Amino acid sequence: MPRSMLVALASHAAIGMALGLASGFALIWIPAFHVTNLVNDSMDPWATTLILIATFATTFGIDATLTGFILMMSQNDTARVRGEVMPERTR
């Protein structure tokens, strides 16, 4: 796997995790969702909040990475079908 592809996948993962963090915090802080009540009623609200936010971040990060990988592979396949010249890998 080329280094540029690994860098692109890492950036997809970072963006996905950032979106997951933002979504998790928004879910907890917006009172219309009533998630704060559920978290506060748990035995350990701090741990519940941490688990909720970590779950959102990792799920979004994994999904964004897989989506980026699929899109990169489909671009390579599309270019190959069209007969476009793919850049050679350098070592």
In a domain, 67, yes or no: yes
In a domain, 27, yes or no: yes
Q: What is the pLDDT of residue 3?
A: 87
Q: What is the pLDDT of residue 84?
A: 64
In a domain, 84, yes or no: no
In a domain, 82, yes or no: no
Angle, helices 3-29/45-82, rounded to nearest 10 degrees: 140
Q: Domain residues for 63? A: 3-76
In a domain, 21, yes or no: yes
Q: How far apart are CA 23 and CA 65, in angstroms?
A: 17
In a domain, 20, yes or no: yes
Contact 9, 64 (CB under 8 A): no
In a domain, 86, yes or no: no
* Span 56-80, average pLDDT: 89
* Span 44-65, average pLDDT: 96
